[in-house]
Amino acid sequence: MDNVFKVTVNENLTFDLADGDIQKVDALRTSGTQYHILQGNRPFSVEIVDSDFNQKTYEIKVNNNSYAVNIADALDLLINDMGFSLSSAKDIGSIEAPMPGLILEISVKEGQEVNEDDQLLILEAMKMENVITSPRNGVIKSIGVKQGDAVEKKHLLIEFE
């Protein structure tokens, strides 16, 4: 089964892409951030102007036209379907498991200061390793799981002070 990605361009065009679709792209990297792409016998010059890997947002130029691109993977889509809002992330006092899974790694300790987007732990779910990152700056108050624990949806993972 292919992984599915929802790609939003300039906040108004949305495309669903699967791994198979991506593998069919005829792309050649010409330099660090520049690519030559052939699609339907038409050439495109593509440059990645800016990227935020944690937010999965990119600014790209295709034939000198700029586009803002946001990529949502299966976990992002599931979190959105569950009604979890990233806009309220600054008010979050704890993190719960978004789905059942297995704790593969815990990257923080109680009392540790973390910054927004720091890796907190890795949750394996649906045959994918999902990195859970900090939604805000703060101090870890408690960790409700250990490496190797199986968790259910809404299980308390981490609490902030």
pTM of this structure: 0.50
Identify the pLDDT of residue 91: 66
**Tell me: the pLDDT tens digits for 49-95?**
998 877 889 999 999 899 999 998 888 877 777 766 555 445 678 99
The number of domains in the chain is 2
User: Would 31 be classed as within a structural domain?
Assistant: yes
> Do 45 and 101 belong together in one domain?
no
83 domain-assigned: no
Residue 80 domain flag: no
Structural domain of residue 113, as residue ranges?
90-160
Residue 77 lies in a domain: no
Q: Is residue 30 part of a domain?
A: yes
Residue 63 domain-assigned? yes
Do 123 and 130 form a contact (C-beta atoms < 8 A)?
A: yes
In a domain, 55, yes or no: yes
Output the pLDDT for position 63.
92
Q: Note the pLDDT of residue 155.
A: 94
Whether residue 14 contacts residue 5, with contact meaning beta carbons closer than 8 Å, is answered with: no
Last residue of a domain, one of 40, 72, 104: 72
Closest CA to 122 of 153, 152, 88, 145: 145
pLDDT digits 0-9 by tens, 122-132? 999 878 888 99
